[in-house]
Amino acid sequence: MSDAESPSTFDPVEPNAGEDFEPVDVFPDTNEFDLRPGADSCYKCSTCDTNCPVAEVDDDFPGPKFQGPEQWRLKRQEDDHSIDDSIMDCSNCMRCDNACPSGVPLSQMHNTARGEYVAEEMSKTSIEYWRNRILANYRTSAWLASKVPRLASFAMNFGPARWVMEKTLGVTKERDFPEFATETFREWWEREGAAAGSRERARDARERRGEPRDADKKVAYFHGCYSNYNTPEVGKSMIRVFEHFGYEVVVPEQKCSGTPMFANGMLDDARRHAEVNISSMADLIEEGYDAIASCTSCSMALRQEYPELFDIDGVETVAENTFESVEYLRIHEDLTDEIEAAAVDGDLAREFAYHAPCHARNQGLERQAVELFGDLDGVGVEDVGDSCSGISGTYGWKEEKYEKSMEIGDEMFDHMEDAGGQTGMTECPTCAMQMEHGTGYDIRHPLELLDAALVE
Ligand code: SF4
Ligand code: SF4
């Protein structure tokens, strides 16, 4: 029996199940994007506004109600209505989606409006446009850096270079750039024998576990950019843990999930990447694989943002069969029993201050790590509350947003410092950056702890 039949109440495709579905054009001029029903169900309660971390620190930000339903109505009523530039101040944390009691598809409206603002209002020769484009296409920069990782890691943190980047591009010099791995996850994966190697290891694990050697347990791993280029240890833990439970893993061709592109209104870029990801994953799902992500923003993109924004063949198949990695194991394995029988006595035997990323909350996963590791001998995990970390991917890297990003993160930093130990834990790589930046703590992923408890 599984730990939880479904720890998540997340339903990516039918958020208003039971109600009549009638897609609506958000903006009549752009027929690419449809909205779920709900835009007209806003009754102006302002709950979304009071839950918006940007509005909390920025009195000039009009908040999600304006960015969503109000602007949508204005656009419908006035042909010449332009999208307000404040849409670029929304960090795309998606907390307003969860907060709305009426099911208004706020982040979908924001993403659509932001895409239209960038396409029609933002100058394509402006520094802001190019800064945002570079940040949104982190995968390209990281791919280049991975060719000379040591040099890139040094250059990206070289003081004078950072000063120039801030003055010319508007990328804050206050943050440390993450190190680039000297061996990417995908290089390691090839060295480990890729899918064929995984199949053999998974079969051996099944035998050890008393399961049929040819059991049908297989997953396709969406590792995302950060696990590939910066923290391959997360991807390695993901592989080891899944193989420990007898799953054969494949690592298909993939691009960026599109998360930083949505946040910067670069919807054409996001669509190009989504087409590759959906094609890869949909083919494997047809062959019986489930799609697994170790980053909660990546799983969010595949589950919610893709079907909300793109009418690509296979998009709903992918949305319905994508899971966050630990969520998947909680559904299909006796994870709690194994955890109760395990102990961590090595490098990771310590107290963790756990932060649930906003995008994990949107998938109903915010209590997962705390519940799971509560009975693990040798470690303690303390939830640091429900505040936003403030970085929101590329948002906190922008020079003009840096102070706001840190102000939003203050509550989380305080709670981390009040919690026991000096190590953080989260599933989101940019939340991890912010946690480390605000406290100086080492930050780990729940998969690394599972790996230490069950495999190593
Ligand atoms: S996505 Fe986040 S920042 Fe944007 S309007 Fe909603 S709550 Fe505010
Ligand atoms: S929470 Fe929902 S119903 Fe309330 S103002 Fe915001 S969008 Fe409208």
Candidates 157, 289, 138; CA nearest to 227 is: 138
Token output for 245: 């439970």
From the list 399, 400, 403, the residue with the least C-alpha distance to 438 is 403
Q: Is 44 in the pocket of ligand 2 (CB under 6 A)?
A: yes
Candidate from 57, 66, 67, 93 with most ligand 1 atoms within 8 A of CB, to mutate: 93
- For residue 16, pLDDT over 80 is answered with no
Q: How far is CA 391 from CA 59, 110, 184, in A?
A: 18, 18, 24
pTM of the model: 0.91
Q: Pairing relation of β-strands 30-35 and 24-27?
A: antiparallel
Residue 285 CA to residue 440 CA, distance in Å, equals 41
pLDDT at 315: 97
Task: Give the Cα separation of 326 and 2 in Å (integer).
Answer: 12
Q: Does ligand 2 come within 6 angstroms of the Cβ of 178?
A: no
User: Which of 98, 106, 304, 359 most suits a substitution to test ligand 1, by most atoms within 8 Å of the C-beta?
Assistant: 106
Other residues' Cβ atoms within 10 Å of the Cβ of residue 231: 25
Kindly give the number of the ligand 2 atom that is closest to the alpha carbon of 47.
Answer: 1
Whether 65 is in the pocket of ligand 2, judged by its Cβ within 6 Å, is yes
The answer on pLDDT for 279 being more than 70 is: yes
Exposed / middle / buried, residue 18 (Cβ in 10 Å: 0-12, 13-18, 19+) = exposed
Tokens of 49: 């506004």
Which ligand gives the minimal distance to the CA of 110?
1
CA 76 to chain centre: 32
Cα 208 to Cα 396: distance, rounded to the nearest angstrom: 46
> Of all atoms in ligand 2, which is nearest to the CA of residue 51?
1
Q: What is the pLDDT of residue 6?
A: 43
Average pLDDT over residues 24-36: 47
Closest ligand 2 atom, CA of 64?
A: 6
Which atom of ligand 1 lies closest to the CA of 64?
A: 5
Rounded CA-CA distance 105/61 in Å is 19
The widest CA-to-CA distance across the chain, in whole angstroms, is: 67
pLDDT at 24 over 80: no
Class of domain 340-454: alpha beta
Query: Does residue 86 contact residue 67 with C-beta atoms inside 8 Å?
Result: yes
State the Cα–Cα distance between residues 378 and 343, nearest whole angstrom.
Answer: 6
Closest residue CA from atom 6 of ligand 2? 48
Residue 304 is given by DSSP the state: I
CATH number for the domain whose boundaries are 24-120:
1.10.1060.10
Name the 3-class secondary structure at 26.
strand
- pLDDT digit string, tens, across residues 330-385: 999 999 999 999 999 888 989 999 999 999 999 999 999 999 998 899 999 999 99
**Ligand 2 contacts CB of residue 45 (under 6 A):** yes
Q: What is the DSSP string of 290-350?
A: EEEESSHHHHHIIIIIHHHH---TTHHHHHHTEEEHHHHHHHHS-HHHHHHT-B--STT-S
Q: What is the mean pLDDT of residues 192-198?
A: 98
Per-residue pLDDT at 71? 86
67 lines ligand 1 (CB under 6 A): yes
Secondary structure letter of residue 396 according to DSSP? G
Question: Is ligand 1 within 6 A of the CB of residue 52?
Answer: yes
Residue 243: per-residue pLDDT: 98
- The SS3 call for residue 287 is coil
How far, in Å, is the centroid of ligand 1 from the Cα of 409?
15
